Amino acid sequence: MGQLDGRTAIVTGAASGIGKAIVTLFAQEGARVAVLDLDLDGAKAVAAEIGGGAFALKVDVAKEASVNKAVAAAIARLGGVDVMVNNAGIGDFALTIDMTLAQWERMISIDLTSVFLGCRAVLPTMIAQKYGRIINTGSQLGFCGAPGMGHYCAAKGGVHTLTKSIAAEVAEHGVTVNAIAPGPTRTAILDSIDAEAIGVITNDVALKRLGRPEEIAPTALLLASEVGGGYYTGSVLNVSGGHVM
């Protein structure tokens, strides 16, 4: 038996990287899953790979109407939602002195406002059914900051504290809200970084290597599970290879 047998799950940013690893593992553990992403073709490919009734929906997580429409459609097709993973996000680099307001606002909207929108969209259903697991993707840089990533660090730090605030609001309804803080992980966000910079980042990790999406997904499974995740709420679990201790 799988740890998520009979459960339903929505995962955003699920066409690649950590989101793909999470939605794939959830399906392997018995959940019926909705694969949400701005890249609909990529999401469809993941859903086809997963099989078992998995389906894809397009969503722009920075836009309220898009999130509400996609989540409503997913809930309708799944017949409810037990687990919501707000994973979609971006990363780029700019020193504060060079950063444009447009860069700042894009980062905050995609990496932070999206989490608010995703949580808000599923809470009525979860509160009504007296059960829910919300898992948000933060970052180890939400704890410590990094040069050239002030907007990213601010957004992810916001994810961590937003997670705690919502957890306090909905605990009485049987809904848990937690976050994962991955360390440097081999995803598309790192593709634009040159080999020298990757070497510097890797050297800062205690384990002296980058993480893999498949190493992050089990933490999401723990938080989503019936027994293992039941007593976590308002937590931010640091999966960073010792980059932050």
Q: Which residues does the annotation mark as catalytic?
A: 152
6 — alpha (psi -120 to 50), left (phi > 0) or beta?
left
Count other Cβ atoms within 10 Å, centred on residue 85: 29
- HEC profile for 82-108? CEEEECCCCCCCCCCCCCCHHHHHHHH
Q: Angle 150-170/114-129 helices, nearest 10 degrees?
A: 10
DSSP state of 26: H
What sign has the CA pseudo-torsion 54, 60, 64, 66? negative
Q: Which residues contact 75 (CB under 8 A, 6 or more apart)?
A: 10, 81, 122, 125
CA-closest candidate to residue 156, choices 179, 135, 186, 189: 179
Q: DSSP per residue over 126-182, as a string?
A: HHHHT-EEEEEE--THHHH--TT-HHHHHHHHHHHHHHHHHHHHHGGGTEEEEEEEE
Please list, residue by residue across 185-205, b when 16 or more beta carbons sit within 10 angstroms of its beta carbon and e when fewer do. Answer: bbbebeeeeeeeeeeebeebb
